[in-house]
Structure formats: C-alpha cells, structure tokens
Amino acid sequence: MITRLADLWVRRRWRPNPEAMAQWADLRPAVVVTGGSEGIGFEIARRFARRGSTVVLVARRPDRLEEAAAAIRGEFGTAVLTISLDVTRPDAAEVIETELRGRGFYVDVLVNNAGMGLSGDYIEQPGDRIAALVELNIRAVSLLMRHFLPDMCVRGRGGVLNVGSLGGYAPGPYQAAYYASKAYVISLTEAVAWESGGRGARIAVFAPGPIRTRFHRRMGAEHALYRWLIPAPGPSTAAGTAVRWFEWGRTVITPGVLGPLLAIAMRLIPHPVLLPIVGWLLKPRELLKNAGL
C-alpha cells in the first residue's frame, strides 16, 4: 500500500508518451547494481531479487561476479546477469546499455554502489589514488545517473539509488577525500531529485554509518576509533532499509535510530566544534599510539 501511494506521488507530473516509449516495447526491466559482487551492493541486489526483479551485477572481477550471481539465483530463482566492467571507463554507461539491450533488458533501476575509500593524512596519499577515488566516487556516479535517468523519466518508472555515507555530512580529517566525495553524492542526489520530482523516477541517496563489510579494512581504517565506538549493522540489515525506503519514495535514507540523529547533529554542530570530534574518531590507531593517546 505504501509503495503504491509513493508511486502516485512520484508520478504526479508524469505524462505518457507512447511514441517515445515504443523503443522499450520488446525489452524487460532490470535492476543494475554497480559494485554488486559483495558487501552492501550484493545485499541490495539480493533485496531486489527477493522482490522478483531481474538483477544485473556490475563489477571488475568476473570470478566474484559469477559467485555472487550463482548465490542469488540459487536463493531466489530469479534471473541474474553479470557485466564485468570498470565503471570509470568513459563509455561505461553505453557498454551497460548495449549489453542489456542485447539480452532483452533495459535499466529500470540503477544502484550506484561502486566506491572506494582512503584513510590517512591527505598529503601522504598518492595522487593517482586520489584521482581514482574521484573517478569512481564522483565522476562515474554522475555520468551513469545522467545517462540513464532521462529515459526513466520518459517511462515514468524506475529510479536511481546512490550509495553515499553519513560521512558526507561533515569534513573528515584522515578520510578527507572520501568524506568530500560522499558530500558531493548527497548534494547531487538531493538537487537532482528536486529538479526531477514528480516525473516518475525515484531518486535517492543511502547514507549509512559504518557497516560490517571489508570496506573499512581495505581503505586502511579498520583500527580507527569510530570502528570501535559506533555500532555497525550487518550489510543485509542496511540493504533492507535502503531498498524499503527507496520504494517508499524517500530521498535521503539514513538507517537505524542513531543514523538520522547523527545526520542532524552533523548539520547543526558548528564545524569548529565538529571537526575535532570527527578527527578524533577517524584518526588511525597507530597515529594515536605515536602521540601517546
């Protein structure tokens, strides 16, 4: 019932255009999840598969992709496709679209989940790593959404779910580039959702706090204090919240009880007060030992 009511609101300004929609007449809808072979992306894909959607997992490693796809197929019996692709490629959107058309599908929902993090002093990060983060967390998200969203608005259905972070609400010392990239994702999503409101496409950003995945270990932040002090739900729980609120039409999705409270606090607390707190939480443990703290 809630989803149906949300459909009416999301499509309040949409008007069908049969001539334009004819190009998808012989194609079926699919949910595309970038970075869908593991972690939160995999769990989001599972949630859509549970609802009977055809899921397309996009990631760079074919072996991980096939393992993830086989797991979802075995659990739900739904169609799961894979595309081995680096989404930072300039033609990534065109490759996804062509691959899906060749298999009889179109992108109905796009989940921009692929991302990377960096931990440590900004001035010590290699320039190529910062460039890679910007390419993946900002450029790829922007261009994939720009490519697929117009058709969603023509069809009056589907949408884009960008995976951000609670860290996007504050500057993040020791994770400076990562926090800044997620601030961009939140800002972009909210602005585009306002511009496109009522045209039939859901546009949302999922902004969780820490989640129990390998992401923090990979970025070198596993021993920072926030990993000890802030509760981290499992990816399945977080994914359930993301997909449910996406279906219900919320634009900014922060899971749990603590998440929304922290989001409000980080918006209200002045940066001169907030920055030392965030820096204390994000500072790697090794640096704290060296400082005698």
30-61 per-position pLDDT tens digit:
999 999 999 999 999 999 999 999 999 999 99
Residue 178 annotated among the catalytic residues of the structure = yes
Continuous segment of H or E residues that includes residue 235: helix 235-247
The answer to whether 253 and 241 are in contact (CB under 8 A) is yes
- Cα distance between residue 31 and residue 159, in whole Å: 9
Average pLDDT on 214-232 reads 75
Nearest Cα to Cα of residue 183 among 158, 205, 155 = 205
At 233, the pLDDT band (50, 70, 90 cuts) reads confident
Nearest Cα to Cα of residue 180 among 165, 200, 160, 196 = 165
Examine the pLDDT at 140 and tell me if it is beyond 70. yes
Give the per-residue pLDDT at 289: 47
Give the number of C-alpha atoms closer than 13 A to the C-alpha of residue 155, restricted to the C-beta side. 21
88-115 per-position pLDDT tens digit:
999 999 999 999 999 999 999 999 999 9
Average pLDDT on 131-154 reads 98
Average pLDDT on 126-143 reads 98
Give the per-residue pLDDT at 1: 85
Enumerate residues 6+ apart whose C-beta is below 8 A from 83. Answer: 56, 57, 58, 65, 95, 96, 99
- Cα distance between residue 139 and residue 39, in whole Å: 22
The answer to whether 208 and 22 are in contact (CB under 8 A) is no
Give the per-residue pLDDT at 111: 98
Give the per-residue pLDDT at 128: 97
Assigned token pair, 186: 């939140």
Instruction: Kindly report which listed range (168-182, 239-253, 278-292) carries the lowest average pLDDT score.
Output: 278-292
Examine the pLDDT at 288 and tell me if it is beyond 70. no
At 287, the pLDDT band (50, 70, 90 cuts) reads very low
Among residues 174, 178, 179, 226, the one annotated as catalytic is 178
Nearest Cα to Cα of residue 117 among 160, 83, 162, 165 = 165
Q: What is the mean pLDDT of the chain?
A: 93
Give the per-residue pLDDT at 224: 78
Structural domains in the chain, CATH included, are 2-11+26-290 (3.40.50.720)
Examine the pLDDT at 235 and tell me if it is beyond 90. no
The answer to whether 47 and 245 are in contact (CB under 8 A) is no
Examine the pLDDT at 291 and tell me if it is beyond 50. no
Examine the pLDDT at 121 and tell me if it is beyond 80. yes
Give the per-residue pLDDT at 168: 96
Give the per-residue pLDDT at 286: 64
Examine the pLDDT at 227 and tell me if it is beyond 70. yes
| Residue 287 vs residues 44, 225, 230: alpha-carbon distances, Å | 35, 11, 19
Examine the pLDDT at 263 and tell me if it is beyond 70. yes
- Cα distance between residue 125 and residue 177, in whole Å: 10
Average pLDDT on 62-68 reads 96
Give the per-residue pLDDT at 277: 93
